[in-house]
């Protein structure tokens, strides 16, 4: 079935090659502005916003929360233990046990806990009562940086362990690549399917670097989703590019760049970075190997 | 659909400016203002509701009722309903809360229609799905005989293909059933049939599942929608009765034609194999474990107890550790800690990393190895007599006790074999 989807070649308008994504002639997706407003509201106020994150740790064989010498010290919280068995994560205290379901936040005094990640490799994130840092900044919407076209099949199928936008290691499936005419060159960007909370859901994502990294955007690169269109093609809208959560809090590990996903030209669209003033000279070859 | 979403987005933006009324922190902060205003249209009754997913509408029923001093409500998939934790009505707007999942449905009443959004506070960003409803119930369509029963399905995704089973039947409110994977079921689904097409849905406030498909000859083909955008194609054929799903205990077996072989270094780097004198002529339990594995921590004290009880009569145990890093120094340190924690006196060997495929490759005589821990029982001739995948910990109560008794019986039987 998947192969059949790829095989359904579609005519691309414009001067680009038959497999390239073509710049979208129609206006920016009308719901993009609404999505951005939702995201900013979530980021600045949600209890599980990365701006409120104070710790993220692999649960492994168990974590202690609460006392000053615990794995995660929490003010005013009596000793708690977080363990995982199979796919289930449990919070245990003197008063009893509580499950922490995937994607279901659990309140603990002034704090919020979530568990994510595959069975046996679950990761606990602890959020504090206050949001720190600044809300995100964005470039103006750029109509010229919205593309629609085909997803090309991957050279080899399989999965690879990568960090998602939230720093949690997941098994991502190689979904293929897209050819994007941007900045006067045709750039091939690798696309991976990353599972999301609940196990059944997933998103096609591209983690890319470009000429703005360290000069207005987050130095390590940004994520942008590849969205399915109703006609079998896919939409790549750089206005939806967003920072990995390590841009907001040092509680999160930063994903290593994906091999090859580098656009030399500046992609002045999507989320900007007003952080620590880090500067990188230019997006050269990746310095860090991928998480495998 | 995008136009509808856009209109909805613009309308919502005017309804709740994010700077002053965030939908996440405290949508309506003043409880005193939440009472229904006299004279406003009543929301009470059943609502034919839907979530507009990228690939189609997920139907469910919303039940709202006004008590003496408060509103109540439920989300229903056919006859199975789940109560809402709170229903707040203000003028022509309604806020439905599903506290267990930190989820809400916020909507406004216009005429006999509700329109708004379902929000789920996620870990990677907001999950927002358009919601709409009109008064009344979804029509009931009875399940035709060609559809009722058990179907063996295969799902196809970038992650590979995987089996599911559909169990479909005609319930009091029409088509209902469930979907089962190797690891469990997806809860109650309800839906309808139109001609050759079927739609089944499950929405409980957190899980957003829609199964759509159609009959093509003697197969069913369709798409499974999860959340707003994930769409997974599937094909199903009527079940023949042969098992389509597998559990670890069913799929782990072993080559019994030759002695079970292993050769791995111990924590001091000395190679240990099944041919060592300490194992010769003994009943051996091979414990495939990892120090990272909580179930293995449940199993370890029981193995230590068995070892103490039966060692003098001829039982040996060897632990094969599959660890996280593959770095011998780090992994050995972890396994030493594990050995100290449980007072283990039988040998523990560093066998590899905790990837089931990698582990399986190091033990080619095991077939279908998927589970940590797995206990392999060897007779005095070194051949596999039994493979037990998984371990019921003390939290499983009676099942734990029964499994321990089975382990003891098996060990005693194998010890007796040698004497006969």
State the average pLDDT over residues A180-190. Answer: 93
| Rounded CA separation A168/A218 (Å) | 19
Q: What is the pLDDT of residues A119-176, one digit of tens each?
A: 778 889 999 998 887 788 899 999 899 999 999 999 888 888 888 898 888 889 999 9
Instruction: Give the C-alpha distances (Å, rounded to integers) separating B10 from A27, A31, B14, B15.
Output: 16, 9, 6, 9
State the average pLDDT over residues A33-59. Answer: 89
Q: What is the pLDDT of residues B262-301, one digit of tens each?
A: 999 999 999 999 999 999 999 999 999 887 665 677 789 9
Least trusted range by pLDDT, from A15-24, A56-65, B92-101 = A15-24
Dump the DSSP string for B6-74: HHHHHHHHHHS-TTTS-TTT-SS--GGGGSPPTTSPP--EEEEEEEEETTEEEEEEEEEEE-SS-EEEE
Residue of A nearest to B323 (CA): A60
Q: Could A200 and B156 be called an inter-chain contact, meaning their C-beta atoms sit closer than 8 Å? A: no
Q: Could A201 and B227 be called an inter-chain contact, meaning their C-beta atoms sit closer than 8 Å? A: yes
State the average pLDDT over residues A101-105. Answer: 74
Model confidence at A78: pLDDT above 80 = yes
User: Are B73 and B84 in contact, with CB atoms under 8 Å apart?
Assistant: yes
| Rounded CA separation B173/B141 (Å) | 8
Q: Could A228 and B292 be called an inter-chain contact, meaning their C-beta atoms sit closer than 8 Å? A: no
A109 pLDDT tier (thresholds 50, 70, 90): very high
Return the pLDDT at A241. 96
| Rounded CA separation A287/A220 (Å) | 10
Q: Could A200 and B183 be called an inter-chain contact, meaning their C-beta atoms sit closer than 8 Å? A: no
B12 touches chain A (CB under 8 A): yes
Contacts of A198 in chain B (CB under 8 A): 206-207, 226-227
Q: Could B6 and A201 be called an inter-chain contact, meaning their C-beta atoms sit closer than 8 Å? A: no
Return the pLDDT at A13. 28
Return the pLDDT at B147. 97
First to last CA, chain B: 76
Return the pLDDT at A281. 33
For an interface test with B, which of A50, A163, A202, A228 has the most B Cβ atoms less than 10 Å from its Cβ?
A: A202
| Rounded CA separation B293/B291 (Å) | 6
Averaged confidence pLDDT in chain B: 83
Residue of A nearest to B395 (CA): A85
Model confidence at A290: pLDDT above 60 = no
Handedness of CA A60, A158, A231, B156 (dihedral sign): negative
Question: Which is higher by pLDDT, B254 or B35?
Answer: B254
Contacts of B183 in chain A (CB under 8 A): 87
Contacts of B393 in chain A (CB under 8 A): 85
Contacts of B101 in chain A (CB under 8 A): 103-104
Model confidence at A61: pLDDT above 90 = no
Question: 3-state DSSP: chain B helix, strand, coil percent, rounded to 5?
Answer: 25, 45, 35
Select the residue of B6, B18, B123 nearest A41 (Cβ to Cβ).
B18
Share of chain B above pLDDT 90, in %: 55
Q: What is the pLDDT of residues B240-265, one digit of tens each?
A: 988 888 654 444 567 778 899 999 99
User: Are A186 and A91 in contact, with CB atoms under 8 Å apart?
Assistant: no
Interface of B with A in 361-390 (CB under 8 A): 372
Model confidence at B356: pLDDT above 70 = no
Share of chain A above pLDDT 90, in %: 37
Tokens 């099949």 sit on residue: A153
10 Å Cβ neighbour count for A138?
16
Q: To 10 degrees, what angle do helices A32-45 and B2-15 make? A: 40
B11 pLDDT tier (thresholds 50, 70, 90): very low
Return the pLDDT at B398. 60
Select the residue of A47, A61, A196 nearest B297 (Cβ to Cβ).
A61
> Cα B30 vs. chain centroid, distance in angstroms?
38
| Complex ipTM value | 0.75
- Chain A with chain B: Cβ pairs closer than 8 A: 150
State the average pLDDT over residues B125-137. Answer: 92
Model confidence at A242: pLDDT above 60 = yes
Question: Which is higher by pLDDT, B228 or A22?
Answer: B228
Model confidence at B302: pLDDT above 90 = yes
Most confident of A188-202, B274-288, B358-372: B274-288
Model confidence at B115: pLDDT above 50 = yes
Return the pLDDT at B370. 58
State the average pLDDT over residues A174-186. Answer: 94
Q: Annotate A56-92 with b (16+ C-beta within 10 A) or e (fewer).
A: bebbbbebebbeeeebbebeebeebbbbbbebebbbe
| Rounded CA separation B317/A283 (Å) | 54
Contacts of B249 in chain A (CB under 8 A): none
| Rounded CA separation A257/A234 (Å) | 23
User: Are A261 and A209 in contact, with CB atoms under 8 Å apart?
Assistant: yes
Q: Could B294 and A200 be called an inter-chain contact, meaning their C-beta atoms sit closer than 8 Å? A: no
B25 pLDDT tier (thresholds 50, 70, 90): low
Model confidence at B8: pLDDT above 60 = no
Return the pLDDT at B3. 39
Model confidence at B217: pLDDT above 50 = yes
Question: Which is higher by pLDDT, B155 or A232?
Answer: B155
State the average pLDDT over residues A20-46. Answer: 76
State the average pLDDT over residues A79-83. Answer: 94
> Cα A48 vs. chain centroid, distance in angstroms?
15
Structure token digits, residue A61: 């064989």
B355 pLDDT tier (thresholds 50, 70, 90): low
| Rounded CA separation A189/A207 (Å) | 9
A83 pLDDT tier (thresholds 50, 70, 90): very high
B399 pLDDT tier (thresholds 50, 70, 90): low
Question: Which is higher by pLDDT, B213 or A18?
Answer: B213
Least trusted range by pLDDT, from A197-201, B84-88, B148-152, B246-250 = B246-250
| Rounded CA separation B363/A102 (Å) | 33
């Amino acid at each position: 079935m998947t192969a059949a989807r790829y095989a359904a070649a579609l005519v691309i308008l414009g001067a680009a090659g038959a497999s390239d994504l073509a710049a979208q002639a129609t206006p920016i997706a009308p719901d993009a502005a609404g999505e951005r407003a939702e995201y900013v509201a979530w980021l600045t106020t949600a209890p599980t916003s990365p701006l409120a994150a104070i710790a993220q740790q692999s649960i492994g064989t168990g974590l202690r929360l609460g006392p000053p010498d615990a794995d995660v010290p929490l003010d005013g919280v009596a000793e708690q233990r977080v363990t995982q068995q199979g796919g289930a994560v449990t919070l245990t205290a003197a008063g009893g046990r509580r499950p922490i379901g995937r994607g279901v936040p659990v309140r603990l005094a002034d704090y919020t806990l979530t568990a994510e990640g595959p069975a046996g490799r679950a990761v606990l994130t602890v959020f504090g009562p206050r949001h720190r840092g600044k809300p995100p900044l964005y470039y103006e919407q750029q109509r010229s940086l919205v593309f629609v076209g085909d997803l090309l099949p991957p050279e080899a199928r399989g999965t690879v362990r990568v960090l998602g936008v939230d720093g949690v290691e997941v098994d991502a499936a190689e979904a293929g690549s897209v050819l994007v005419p941007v900045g006067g060159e045709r750039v091939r960007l690798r696309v991976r399917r990353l599972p999301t909370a609940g196990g059944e859901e997933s998103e096609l994502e591209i983690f890319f670097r470009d000429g703005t990294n360290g000069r207005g955007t987050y130095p390590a690169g940004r994520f942008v989703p590849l969205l399915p269109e109703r006609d079998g093609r896919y939409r790549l809208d750089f206005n939806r590019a967003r920072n990995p959560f390590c841009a907001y809090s040092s509680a999160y590990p930063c994903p290593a760049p994906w091999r090859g996903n580098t656009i030399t030209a500046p992609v002045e669209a999507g989320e900007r970075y007003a952080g620590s003033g880090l500067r990188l000279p230019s997006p050269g070859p990746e310095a860090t190997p991928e998480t495998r | 659909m995008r136009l509808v979403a856009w209109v909805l987005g613009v309308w919502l933006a005017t309804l709740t400016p994010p700077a002053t009324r965030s939908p996440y922190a405290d949508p309506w902060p003043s409880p005193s203002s939440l009472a229904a205003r006299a004279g406003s249209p009543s929301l009470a009754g059943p609502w034919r509701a839907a979530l507009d997913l990228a690939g189609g509408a997920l139907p469910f029923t919303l039940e709202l009722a006004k008590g003496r001093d408060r509103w109540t409500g439920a989300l229903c998939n056919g006859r199975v309903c789940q109560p809402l934790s709170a229903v707040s009505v203000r003028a022509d707007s309604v806020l439905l809360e599903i506290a267990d999942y930190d989820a809400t449905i916020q909507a406004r009443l216009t005429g006999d229609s509700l329109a708004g959004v379902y929000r789920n506070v996620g870990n990677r960003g907001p999950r927002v799905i358009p919601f709409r409803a009109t008064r009344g119930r979804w029509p009931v369509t009875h399940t035709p005989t060609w559809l009722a029963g058990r179907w063996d399905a295969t799902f196809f995704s970038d992650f590979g293909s995987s089996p599911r089973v559909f169990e479909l039947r005609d319930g009091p409110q029409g088509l209902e059933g469930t979907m089962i994977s190797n690891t469990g079921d997806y809860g109650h689904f309800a839906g309808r049939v139109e001609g050759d097409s079927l739609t089944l849905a499950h929405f409980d406030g957190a899980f957003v599942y829609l199964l759509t498909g159609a009959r093509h000859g003697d197969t069913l083909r369709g798409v499974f929608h999860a959340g707003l955008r994930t769409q997974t194609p599937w094909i199903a054929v009527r079940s023949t009765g042969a098992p389509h799903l597998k559990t670890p205990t069913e799929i782990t077996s072993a080559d019994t034609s030759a002695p079970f072989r292993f050769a791995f270094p111990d924590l001091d780097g000395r190679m240990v194999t099944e041919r060592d004198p300490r194992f010769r002529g003994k009943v051996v339990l091979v414990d495939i474990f990892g120090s990272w594995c909580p179930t293995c921590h449940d199993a370890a004290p029981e193995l230590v107890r068995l070892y103490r009880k039966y060692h003098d009569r001829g039982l040996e145990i060897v632990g094969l550790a599959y660890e996280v890093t593959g770095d011998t120094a780090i992994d050995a340190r972890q396994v030493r800690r594990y050995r100290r924690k449980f007072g283990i006196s039988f040998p523990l060997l560093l066998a590899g990393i905790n990837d089931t495929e990698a582990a399986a490759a190091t033990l080619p005589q095991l077939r279908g190895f998927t589970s940590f821990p797995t206990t392999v029982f060897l007779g005095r001739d070194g051949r596999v007599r039994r493979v037990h995948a998984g371990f019921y910990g003390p939290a499983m109560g009676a099942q734990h006790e029964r499994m321990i008794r089975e382990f003891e019986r098996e060990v005693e039987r194998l010890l007796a074999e040698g004497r006969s």
